[in-house]
Amino acid sequence: MHIREYCGCATKGSIAMMNAYAYASSDAIACLRQAGIPVTHQRIEIARALFSAPVHLSADQIWAKVLDASPDVSRATVYNTLRLFSEKKMIRELFVDPQRVVYDSTTTPHHHLYNMDTGEVRDIADDELRVIGEPRLPEGVVLDEIDVIVRVRNRTA
């Protein structure tokens, strides 16, 4: 079973937006164990912040959410845990611009719309954008993923 399915994490297309406490500590513990990650109090709280609903959050936004429930969690712990979760394919790192990385709790293939003025990142519905075909790849490499980020700005009057 795929880790995301086992975790019971909210996935793309979910219409139920739960609060952080709807994703219980026991859910986070099961998710971490399924991924082969040692369970710690800090990792539980970070998993709860990420998997209670589909999110696109920066590390500092995740840290702020975690601090509400667990004020002893350091910024370094959040960054290290996000790196670990990304390595385990539990989340995706999105480099939306050279100064900004957000973490996407939905790991199934999909594309994003990034508002450069507001910083908002949202999923693009499957029927809104299609990538047709694949590029010819150089000898000796394989395609890992296609990641499309559509960058927009607010209209000026």
For 133, the token pair is 């075909």
CA distance 114 to 117: 9
* pLDDT above 60: residue 76: yes
> Which DSSP category does 148 fall into?
-
For 1-157, CATH gives 1.10.10.10
pTM above 0.95, yes or no: no
Residue with structure tokens 């209209």?
155
* pLDDT above 80: residue 36: yes
What residue ranges do the domains of the chain occupy? 1-157
pLDDT digits (tens, 9 = 90+) for 120-148: 999 998 889 988 888 999 999 999 888 89
Phi, psi of 35 (to 5 degrees): -80, -5
Q: Is 90 exposed, middle or buried (0-12, 13-18, 19+ CB in 10 A)?
A: buried
